[in-house]
Structure 1
Amino acid sequence: MGILEDKSNAQFFYKYLSKVYDQVNRINWTEEMRSEALEWLEFGANDRVLDVGCGTGFGTAGLLEYADNVHALDQSIHQMENAFEKFGKQGQVTFHMGDAERLPFTDNTFDIVWSSGSIEYWPNPIQGLKEIRRVAKPGGQILIVGPDYPSNPILQRAADAIMLFYDKDEADYMFTEAGFVDFHHYIQQASSRSPRAITTVARVPDENIQTHESFAASP
């Protein structure tokens, strides 16, 4: 387990990173990448949407372009305070303090669940994915963005020491263990020198969904 997969370490880390998070984050996870990911989802007029690990609200802002009923959850009050400044505490977004592995929502609540830049900090990502599946409606859509495992051996050792990085095979395993059968992985990258993101789009199983997996690199 990487040092930042410990919840207390992650909270301490974000207490200070939150001051510059938006500037740092947008180098590797850009508005163009966010827009591309949003296009892989199908939004309905009355969809209820959840952003898990919303942080300062970068993903949340993109979701608001497509949906009116947006909920955002994070365990770091320091990150969420930045989001409050953007959206207000009781404005466009309904905010929740909480843990991705113990979501404070009833079953079958959301049509779409989005999580970008959060799974890498979950001590038990399979449990987090199970929770996301639980709170999403049957046939609902899930989008998870995490860091792709680097190919360089030196970077691999550094990545393993910090937090969760995972490749297509590990993503297959995690989503299958969490009960998903219909999912697709995409690779996104801000530039040829930037770290790669692995973005998974999945549907919550129901009796009409057949097993289907694919792996694609974004053009």
Structure 2
Amino acid sequence: MGVLENKARARLFYKYLSKVYDQVNPFIWDEEMRAEALSMVDIERDDRVLDVGCGTGFATEGLLEHTDDVHGLDQSVHQMEKAFEKFGKHDKVKFYRGDAERLPFKDDTFDVVWSSGSIEYWPNPVDALVEFRRVVKPGNQVLVVGPDDPKSTVFQKLADAIMLFYDEEEAQQMFEEAGFVDIEHRVLQRQPGSPRAIVTVARAPDE
């Protein structure tokens, strides 16, 4: 388990990162990459969408271009305070402080579940994906963006010591273990040499 896959350490990390997150994030995950990921999932204007690990709201902004019913959840109050500055606490987005592995929602609550830049901090990613399958409506989609596994052995060992990095094969295994079907992966990169993101879209089985 990587250093930041410990929830307490991850919260402390984001307490300080939240101050510069919106300035740093575009070098890794920018609007063009977000738009391509959004094109992979079907979101209707009246869909209820959950953004797990919403952070400062970068993905939330993109989701609001597709639906007016967005719910953001994060374990870091410092990250969420930045999101409150953008959207208000109870205006455009409904916010919740919570854990991806124990979502505070009833079964079949959401039309789409989205998560970007969060899975790498989950100690038990399959448990969280099972929660995603529980709260999304049967037959509907979830989308998860995480860091693609570095190809260099040295960087791979360093990366794994910090947080979860994974490739398409590992993503496939996690989503299958969580009970999803129609699983698709796409690797995105801002520019050659920059970190790669792996986007996985999957569907909850029909009842």
TM-score above 0.5, yes or no: yes
What secondary structure, in the 3-state scheme, does the structure 1 residue paired with 2:15 have?
helix
Report the Cα distance in structure 1 between the residues aligned to 2:8 and 2:42, rounded to whole angstroms: 36
Report the Cα distance in structure 2 between the residues aligned to 1:23 and 1:154, rounded to whole angstroms: 28
What secondary structure, in the 3-state scheme, does the structure 2 residue paired with 1:170 have?
helix
What secondary structure, in the 3-state scheme, does the structure 2 residue paired with 1:96 have?
strand
Query: Deviation digits for residues 126-180 of structure 1, max 9, x if unmatched?
Result: 0000001100000111110000000001101110100000011111110010001
When the two structures are aligned, how many residues end up with a matched partner? 207
What's the CA shift for 1:125?
0.1
Letter in 1 for 2:80: M
Report the Cα distance in structure 1 between the residues aligned to 2:172 and 2:154, rounded to whole angstroms: 24
TM-score normalised to the size of structure 1? Answer: 0.93
User: Could you tell me which residue of structure 1 aligns to residue 119 of structure 2?
Assistant: 119
Report the Cα distance in structure 2 between the residues aligned to 1:177 and 1:139, rounded to whole angstroms: 17
What secondary structure, in the 3-state scheme, does the structure 1 residue paired with 2:194 have?
coil
Report the Cα distance in structure 2 between the residues aligned to 1:183 and 1:19, rounded to whole angstroms: 35
* Residues 1:47 and 2:52 aligned together: no
What's the CA shift for 1:197?
0.5
Within a 5 Å distance, the mapping from 1:140-179 to structure 2 comes to: 140-179=140-179
Within a 5 Å distance, the mapping from 1:59-208 to structure 2 comes to: 59-206=59-206
What secondary structure, in the 3-state scheme, does the structure 2 residue paired with 1:23 have?
helix
Report the Cα distance in structure 2 between the residues aligned to 1:125 and 1:139, rounded to whole angstroms: 21
User: Could you tell me which residue of structure 2 aligns to residue 212 of structure 1?
Assistant: none
What secondary structure, in the 3-state scheme, does the structure 1 residue paired with 2:158 have?
helix
What secondary structure, in the 3-state scheme, does the structure 2 residue paired with 1:198 have?
strand
Letter in 2 for 1:169: E
What's the CA shift for 1:11?
0.3
Report the Cα distance in structure 2 between the residues aligned to 1:168 and 1:40, rounded to whole angstroms: 16
TM-score normalised to the size of structure 2? Answer: 0.99
Letter in 2 for 1:168: E
User: Could you tell me which residue of structure 2 aligns to residue 211 of structure 1?
Assistant: none
What's the CA shift for 1:4?
0.1
Report the Cα distance in structure 2 between the residues aligned to 1:157 and 1:44, rounded to whole angstroms: 41
Query: Deviation digits for residues 73-115 of structure 1, max 9, x if unmatched?
Result: 0000000000000000111000000000000000000001100
What's the CA shift for 1:62?
0.3
Identical pairs, percent = 67
Letter in 2 for 1:96: Y
Letter in 2 for 1:201: V
What's the CA shift for 1:45?
3.1
CA RMSD of aligned residues (A): 0.7
What's the CA shift for 1:13?
0.3
User: Could you tell me which residue of structure 2 aligns to residue 20 of structure 1?
Assistant: 20
Report the Cα distance in structure 2 between the residues aligned to 1:93 and 1:62, rounded to whole angstroms: 12
